[in-house]
Structure formats: C-alpha cells, structure tokens
Amino acid sequence: DQQVKQNSPSLSVQEGRISILNCDYTNSMFDYFLWYKKYPAEGPTFLISISSIKDKNEDGRFTVFLNKSAKHLSLHIVPSQPGDSAVYFCAATGTMNYGGATNKLIFGTGTLLAVQP
C-alpha cells in the first residue's frame, strides 16, 4: 500500500524551462513534506520542505506547493539546469511521529528528471 505516490517515473525538460514534479499522498495524518534529490551511487540530499500549515515554500529556484484538500504537492524548478538531472523523491511524515518518537519518513517512488541542454 503506497502512501506516497509519484505517478510520473520520468520527466524530460529543456534547459531554462520549468520542471514540475508531482506527488500524491493518501494518509491524512501526514503534515510535513520534503523533497530529496538523488544522484546514482549517492545518498539523497535534502532540497526543500513544507509544513501543512503553509501552501507554498520557496528557496531560490525551487518552490514547493501543497494542496491539502487534494492531498497533492508539487515541486517547481525554475529555470531548470542540466545539473538538476537526477531522481527526485518526495517524502512525508506525520505528527504522530513527533515528541520524542521517531520522525519516520515515507518516501515516494521517485521521478527521474532529465534536463536537456
């Protein structure tokens, strides 16, 4: 039972254009969401996060949008650069994991982004 889904396994974008990566979740207890970028043979690196009390968070070229009613979030990268080519994972965690307990992350299946020069 996949609680966090990324329905697009791959995405190809021209350099300079916008990349939009999507993520859906099913568990209404999730209230904190993160995006990670991963190159082959390396561990994931943190990109950006958003709390459920917000609907948008921006950091440089990266913006994450959250639509709680639709249980959907998206990552926008503008402008896209060839160095952005990687696998992107969204991840979610919930309040039940706070307060001294583990903050367990549930990951999506990933989207391979290819930015063409």
Partner 1 sequence: DVKVTQSSRYLVKRTGEKVFLECVQDMDHENMFWYRQDPGLGLRLIYFSYDVKMKEKGDIPEGYSVSREKKERFSLILESASTNQTSMYLCASTVPGTPSGNTIYFGEGSWLTVV
Residues found near partner 1 in the complex (CB under 8 A): 4, 6, 9, 32, 34, 36, 41-49, 89, 91, 93, 97-110
Which residue, 20 or 109, is less far from partner 1 as judged by CB? 109
Smallest gap, in angstroms, from Cβ of residue 104 to partner 1? 6
Smallest gap, in angstroms, from Cβ of residue 51 to partner 1? 10
Q: Which residues pair with 89 in a beta bridge?
A: 36
85 Ramachandran zone, left/alpha/beta (phi>0; psi -120 to 50): beta
Which residue, 43 or 83, is less far from partner 1 as judged by CB? 43
From CA 24, how far away is CA 5, in angstroms rounded? 5
Which residue, 42 or 117, is less far from partner 1 as judged by CB? 42
From CA 105, how far away is CA 91, in angstroms rounded? 6
Smallest gap, in angstroms, from Cβ of residue 42 to partner 1? 6
For residue 102, count other CB atoms closer than 10 A to its CB: 8
